[in-house]
């Protein structure tokens, strides 16, 4: 017997991507994103410009998601939206839209924690995704966060390590900016690293006790190194670009993989799921694949479209809450900072 459809519309507007996705149960029917290119000329996200761009993009991206899913808005069973963390002005656009849709269509509204959603992406039914069993270690590596988490259940997550300063993606972006790469430079550093020597230049990996992590010292040491060499050697960056990228990537990734190894040792949980933009990184993925081969870790790496911010992850979190009838009131607030 055919299962009755259950359509969830997911909305993501926490930073500089305006995104909408439609799921039927846990299967993705559409996953649409409008990237805001305006921020490139500023080398980072400008919050005021992001909110304005969300206002322009939100209706077209939702229309596109419905069109690709081949459904009408009246068929939606519930709407899920990122409540936080993120930029307040950006969040307000997505949430005001979601509340209006919920009110006018008289369908449940479901507020979603963006960081939980980065890990719940592993419960989407799609090619290349196998859902992990609980408990597992969730590693969120994004532009705004770096977290090591024990995931005991879908919404029972305990943060056991986090960055004390910059996030890993932020460190990638700031190092990239110093060598003239466009924002976001994480993917560019990754691709330029492919033919570079990761051991050519060394940078000190900060010693932080336990599972917490720090990125600002590593970033500053890289920035100072580039300034010094630029003064001393003409064309230093362009002549050594691949080695520079490969060396900084090696150190940025080593910093987090050291902590992942420590988390496995401390918790005895050998099941690791990564999420967030930096989980697209080749060096991080290779580390996990090696651990699977050599130490029998169970590893869960999202397909690339589900690594960086997307609305399918919001919709899957929404679907799991929908099944539990975990709905939100229309008067909830957006939150720039939010824990689990």
Residues binding ligand KG4 (CB under 6 A) = 15, 142-144, 169, 172-173, 184-187, 190, 276-278, 280-281, 308-309
The partner in contact with residue 16, picked from ligand KG4, Zn ion, none with C-beta cut-offs of 5 to 8 angstroms by kind, is none
Which option in Zn ion, ligand KG4, none does residue 173 bind, with CB closer than 5 to 8 A by kind? ligand KG4
Nearer to ligand KG4, 78 or 167 (CB): 167
Smallest separation, CB 309 to ligand KG4 (Å): 4
Q: Which is nearer to ligand KG4, 240 or 283 (CB)?
A: 283
Candidate list 16, 173, 190, 309; residue touching Zn ion; CB under 5 A:
309
172: partner contacted, choices Zn ion, ligand KG4, none (Cβ within 5-8 A by kind): ligand KG4
Shortest distance (Å) from residue 184 CB to ligand KG4: 3
Q: Which does 190 bind (CB under 5 to 8 A by kind): Zn ion, ligand KG4, none?
A: ligand KG4
Short-list 116, 110, 115, CA closest to 23 = 110
Name the residue among 301, 319, 3, 293 with its Cα closest to residue 139. Answer: 301
Cβ neighbours, 10 Å, residue 312 = 30
Cα maximum dimension of the chain: 73
196 binds, among Zn ion, ligand KG4, none (CB under 5 to 8 A by kind): none
Task: List all residues 6 or more positions away from 116 whose beta carbon is below 8 Å from its beta carbon.
Answer: 154, 155, 157, 317, 340
Which helix (H) or strand (E) segment is 273 a member of? strand 271-275
Question: Minimum distance from CB of 89 to ligand KG4 (Å)?
Answer: 16
- Given ligand KG4, Zn ion, none, residue 280, with its beta carbon under 5 to 8 Å by kind, binds ligand KG4
HSE, side-chain direction, 13 A CA sphere, residue 289: 8
Contact map string, positions 112 to 151, toward Zn ion, x by CB under 5 A: ------------------------------x---------
In angstroms, rounded to a whole number, what is the distance separating the alpha carbons of residues 166 and 338?
17
17 binds Zn ion per the rule CB under 5 A? no
**From CA 315, how far away is CA 310, in angstroms rounded?**
9
Tell me whether residue 185 or residue 247 sits nearer to ligand KG4 (CB atom).
185
CB of 170 to Zn ion, least distance (A): 12
DSSP code, position 56: H
Query: Which residue intervals of the chain are DSSP H helices?
Result: 47-69, 88-105, 114-120, 168-178, 186-193, 216-232, 236-267, 282-295, 312-323
């Amino acid at each position: 017997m055919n299962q009755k459809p259950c359509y969830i519309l997911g909305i993501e507007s926490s930073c500089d991507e305006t995104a909408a996705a439609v799921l039927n149960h846990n299967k993705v029917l559409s996953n649409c994103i409008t990237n805001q290119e305006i921020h490139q000329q500023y080398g980072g996200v400008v919050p005021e410009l992001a909110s304005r761009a969300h206002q322009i993009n939100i209706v077209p991206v939702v229309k596109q998601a419905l069109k690709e899913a081949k459904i009408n808005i009246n068929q939606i069973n519930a709407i899920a939206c990122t409540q936080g963390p993120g930029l307040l002005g950006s969040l307000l656009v997505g949430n005001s839209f979601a509340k209006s849709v919920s009110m006018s269509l008289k369908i449940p509204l479901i507020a979603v924690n963006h960081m939980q959603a980065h890990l719940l992406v592993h419960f989407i039914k799609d090619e290349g995704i196998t859902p992990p069993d609980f408990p597992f270690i969730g590693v969120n590596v994004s532009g705004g966060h770096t977290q090591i988490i024990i995931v005991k259940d879908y919404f029972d997550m305990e943060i056991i390590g986090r960055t004390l300063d910059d996030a890993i993606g932020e460190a990638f972006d700031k190092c990239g900016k110093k060598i003239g790469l466009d924002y976001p430079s994480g993917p560019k550093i990754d691709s330029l690293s492919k033919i570079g020597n990761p051991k050519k230049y060394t940078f000190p990996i900060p010693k932080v006790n336990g599972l917490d992590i720090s990125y600002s010292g590593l970033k500053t040491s890289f920035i100072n190194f580039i300034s010094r060499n630029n003064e001393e050697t003409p064309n230093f960056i362009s002549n050594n670009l691949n080695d520079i990228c490969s060396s900084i990537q090696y150190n940025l990734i080593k910093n987090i993989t050291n902590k992942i190894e420590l988390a496995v040792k401390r918790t005895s949980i050998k099941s690791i799921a990564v999420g967030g933009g930096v989980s697209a990184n080749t060096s991080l993925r290779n580390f996990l694949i090696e651990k699977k081969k050599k130490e029998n870790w169970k590893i869960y790496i999202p397909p690339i479209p589900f690594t960086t911010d997307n609305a399918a992850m919001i919709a899957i979190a929404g679907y799991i809450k929908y099944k539990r009838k975990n709905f939100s009131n229309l008067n909830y607030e957006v939150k720039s900072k939010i824990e689990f």
